[in-house]
């Protein structure tokens, strides 16, 4: 099979997800309300705690505000990755996933197309969030907004692959929605999204160890360094490794011969 049919298939899968995203405006707004609420509330709280007058120019924002923005970017991608996988469970219940997976294209390619679509949607949400933060006064170097793009792609694939893997274990939509909370919140709070690891270590060494084992921690660090024109090699390598492992397990999970679908009657049913 030539390359053209693969490109046509990819454009169809990605286009369908983008149309779904456009028609679900509440999903877009909800994805931004949460991190923006955290940003504004934490910014106001820490300014008041440090005695920074709210009437002063925004150039006086504290370093914590700059630190937390990449963590909230990771939050957007984490929640979007789970939401994208939620739509996979919905498509499986409605039967459209079965139609997609019985196409002549390899399953791994179809699943990667789904992840690519979800990642693209999350990147759009991230840049809208960064624009609002920029207007609010929390500004990264202009080049950082370009350099962060590859890290957003990798992080989008990692959290999307995690959600895809979870979807292989759950067959009902309502069950998956509950499981999401047991994954999202521990991954987010047991990471460096809100506080640096050295600060977590001062508070609790056990929490620090859990955060150090959390791949989402390194995804956030990768985003944080890239946004401010730096490169964290360790974070990049660990995030790439976690992405490959999760994506491999997710593809295996959707394999009717070897994955969870083999024991459940088929992932596409």
pLDDT tens per residue across all 269 residues of the chain: 677 877 877 887 777 777 777 676 666 677 677 777 777 776 655 555 444 444 444 443 445 667 788 888 998 899 888 877 777 766 666 666 666 666 777 888 888 888 888 898 889 889 989 998 888 778 888 999 999 999 999 999 999 999 888 877 776 666 666 777 788 888 988 998 888 888 888 888 899 999 999 999 999 999 999 998 999 999 999 999 999 999 999 888 877 665 554 445 444 44
Chain mean position to CA 59: 29
Question: Phi and psi (nearest 5°) for 132?
Answer: -65, -40
Separation between Cα atoms, residue 57 and residue 94, nearest integer Å:
53
Q: Residue 218 class from Cβ within 10 Å (0-12 exposed, 13-18 middle, 19+ buried)?
A: buried
Output the pTM of the full model. Answer: 0.82
Q: What is the pLDDT at residue 60?
A: 39
Q: What is the pLDDT at residue 147?
A: 94
Task: Output the six-digit token pair for 2.
Answer: 């030539």
Q: What is the pLDDT at residue 267?
A: 43
Of 62, 263, 86, 252, whose CA–CA distance to 159 is shortest?
86
Q: What is the pLDDT at residue 86?
A: 72
Residue found by looking up tokens 């490109």 in the block = 7
Contacts 24+ apart (CB under 8 A), 220-225: 220/70, 220/71, 220/73, 220/74, 220/191, 220/192, 220/193, 221/192, 222/151, 222/154, 222/155, 223/70, 223/73, 223/74, 223/148, 223/151, 223/152, 223/155, 224/67, 224/70, 224/71
């Amino acid at each position: 099979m030539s390359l053209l049919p693969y490109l046509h298939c990819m454009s169809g899968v990605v286009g369908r997800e983008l149309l779904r995203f456009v028609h679900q405006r509440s999903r877009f707004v909800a994805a931004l309300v949460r991190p923006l609420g955290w940003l504004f509330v934490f910014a106001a709280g820490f300014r008041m705690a440090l005695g920074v007058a709210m009437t002063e120019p925004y150039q006086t924002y504290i370093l914590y505000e700059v630190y937390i923005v990449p963590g909230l970017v990771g939050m957007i991608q984490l929640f979007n990755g789970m939401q994208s996988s939620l739509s996979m469970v919905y498509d499986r219940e409605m039967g459209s996933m079965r139609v997609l997976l019985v196409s002549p294209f390899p399953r791994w390619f179809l699943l990667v197309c789904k992840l690519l679509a979800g990642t693209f949607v999350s990147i759009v949400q991230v840049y809208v969030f960064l624009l609002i933060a920029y207007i609010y006064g929390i500004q990264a170097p202009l080049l950082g907004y370009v350099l962060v793009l590859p890290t957003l792609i990798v992080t989008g694939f990692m959290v999307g692959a995690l959600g895809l893997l979870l979807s292989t274990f759950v067959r009902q939509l309502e069950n998956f929605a509950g499981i999401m909370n047991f994954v999202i919140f521990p991954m987010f709070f047991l990471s460096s999204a809100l506080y640096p690891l050295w600060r977590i270590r001062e508070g609790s060494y056990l929490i620090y160890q859990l955060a150090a084992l959390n791949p989402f921690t390194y995804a956030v660090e990768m985003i944080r360094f890239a946004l401010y024109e730096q490169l964290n090699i360790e974070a990049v390598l660990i995030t790439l490794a976690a992405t490959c492992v999760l994506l491999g397990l997710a593809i295996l999970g959707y394999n009717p011969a070897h994955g969870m679908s083999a024991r459940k009657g088929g992932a596409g049913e």
